[in-house]
Amino acid sequence: MPARKPHTVETSKPGRGFWVTTAILALIAFAGWLYFWMIPTVQPWLPPEGGHPGDQVDWLFRFMASAAAVLYTFVVGYVIYFAIAYRRRKSDPPGALGFHVHDNTKLEAAWTIIPTLFVVLLSALSVNIWYVLQVQPNNGLVVESIGRQWYFTFRYPNVNGEVTSEMHLPVGVPVTLNVTSQDVIHSFWVPDMRLKADMIPGMINTIRFTPTRIGRYQIICTEFCGTEHSTMDKQIMVVEPQAQYAAWYHGWQVRNAHVGNALPTVSTGTINLAGGDAAAGRALFSQKCSACHALGPFSQRIVGPGLQGVLHDPAHPNLVDGDPATPANVAKILQSGYTGSFGHMPNQSENGLSSKDIANLVTYLNSLR
């Protein structure tokens, strides 16, 4: 090992230039923070906002953008300042070195711990807003949208078949929108509502929002879906609920009266499930259901899925229409049927089940584990 020469090492603390620069950067950072945080209702960086919870998303954007402006100002400011202030000058002797500093535990701890705390704060805020997005409104409208190459259609409660015109929504009414696809993956994006869900064949994804401003909003497909992907869009008309929405809705009820089945209404509640007879239900099942449904696990598909334990299967907590697998909801499907991207299930007029039959069938299905 060669002997190590003792060196006198130039050490230094941050000088006046550093603190002046820091002060200037702090001013710029404050201005940037102020700009993004205090941005008024007119948002130049996002499209006009059309509803709730878009306001929450905008709040998160403002929070992140204002914090990012501070962080970025300091990083880039110091990079430029160091590159200029500590550049090698012609007057420097050849072989001149920088300060001999290896590390500084306090500094390193600071820039590990402070960002960690910020991450905790940002996580808490994001989870909070994420929760708002998940909350199912217990009133309002349940609508379905189906994507196909290359157009969107909609299904409304008590309207047979699919609505092919522009989507209409009453202003101020919470909407639960279930989306799916019949071919490849599409994506349902309303920039003004700040919400998006992929439309995936064989799956239902849900977005929940409340349009708060009357107007026309664009739906855009944001998942590549083939040649005409660029032009796949549609409009949402958010209209005044009484006259305009009701008229439009009634028009589609009449127009589609002769086709398919209606999307089940949200509240039927006409069937009394108490006192159902499981043995009678079992007989009915082999008569009415077993052509399409096996008495096996969910994956054992004939036309529809296997129904063994349909009410108790933790892997499939929801029914085909996205509602939780409860006896009342099973009864609802037996009553009003289902027509959608998963296929067709007869309704009460087609399957010929009486209300008592339905109660018996539900009791039987509930007894299967």
Partner 1 sequence: MSVIAEHGGIAEHIHPEPQGFVRKYIFSLDHKIIGIQYIITAFVFFVLAGLLAEVIRIQLMHANGGFLTPEVYNEVYSVHGSAMVWLVIIPMLTGGFGNFVMPVQIGARDVAFPWLNMISFWIFPVAGLMLFSSFLMGAPVAGWTEYPPMSLQGAAGTSMWCAAIFLVGVSSTLTGMNFLVTMLKMRAPGMTYTRMPLFCWGQLATAPLLMIATTALAAALAALFMERQFGVPFYDPTRGGSPVLWQHMFWFYSHPAVYIMILPAFGIMSEVISVFSRKPVFGYRLIAFSSSAIALAGFMVWAHHMFTSGIAPYMQLPFMILTFAIAVPTGVKIFSWLATMWGGKIYLTSSMLFAIGFLALFTFGGISGIFLAAIPFDLHVHGTYFIPAHIHYVLVGGSLMGIFSGMYYWFPKLTGRYMSELWGRVHFALFVIGFSGTFLPMHYLGAMGMPRRVATYDPQFQFWNQFESISSFVMTLAILIFFVNMLYSIRHGKPAGHNPWGARTLEWQIPSPPPYYNFKHIPSVFGLPYDFTEPLPYTHLEDELTDSPVAVGAH
Site for partner 1 in 221-240 (CB under 8 A): 221-231
Which is closer to partner 1, CB of 5 or CB of 258?
5
Which is closer to partner 1, CB of 28 or CB of 278?
28
By the rule CB under 8 A, 4 interacts with partner 1: yes
27 sits in the region (left: phi over 0; alpha: psi -120 to 50; else beta) called alpha
For the bound state, the minimum distance from the C-beta of residue 172 to partner 1, rounded and expressed in Å, comes to 22
By the rule CB under 8 A, 19 interacts with partner 1: no
Contact 56, 85 (CB under 8 A): no
By the rule CB under 8 A, 213 interacts with partner 1: no
By the rule CB under 8 A, 348 interacts with partner 1: no
For the bound state, the minimum distance from the C-beta of residue 78 to partner 1, rounded and expressed in Å, comes to 5
Which is closer to partner 1, CB of 92 or CB of 350?
92
Task: State the burial class of residue 99 (Cβ atoms within 10 Å of its Cβ: 0-12, 13-18, 19+).
Answer: exposed
Which is closer to partner 1, CB of 141 or CB of 204?
204
**How far is CA 125 from each of CA 98, 101, 111, 285, rounded to the nearest angstrom?**
42, 38, 21, 50
Q: Using CB under 8 A, which of 41, 91, 112, 139 touches partner 1?
A: 112
Q: Using CB under 8 A, which of 301, 302, 349, 354 touches partner 1?
A: 301
By the rule CB under 8 A, 90 interacts with partner 1: no
CB atoms within 10 A of CB 193: 26
Contacts of partner 1 in 152-191 (CB under 8 A): 183-185, 187, 189, 191
Is the preceding omega at residue 170 within 30 degrees of 0, hence cis? no
By the rule CB under 8 A, 52 interacts with partner 1: no
Which is closer to partner 1, CB of 200 or CB of 353?
200
The alpha carbon of 192 is separated from its chain's Cα centroid by a whole number of angstroms, namely 14
Q: Using CB under 8 A, which of 42, 83, 243, 315 touches partner 1?
A: 83
By the rule CB under 8 A, 78 interacts with partner 1: yes
Specify the residue for token string 């009460």. 348
Q: Which stretch binds partner 1 (CB under 8 A): 100-108, 156-164, 269-277, 331-339?
A: 100-108
Contact 290, 270 (CB under 8 A): no
Q: What is the CA radius of gyration of the chain?
A: 31
364 sits in the region (left: phi over 0; alpha: psi -120 to 50; else beta) called alpha
By the rule CB under 8 A, 257 interacts with partner 1: no
Q: Identify the sign of the CA torsion 302, 304, 310, 314.
A: positive
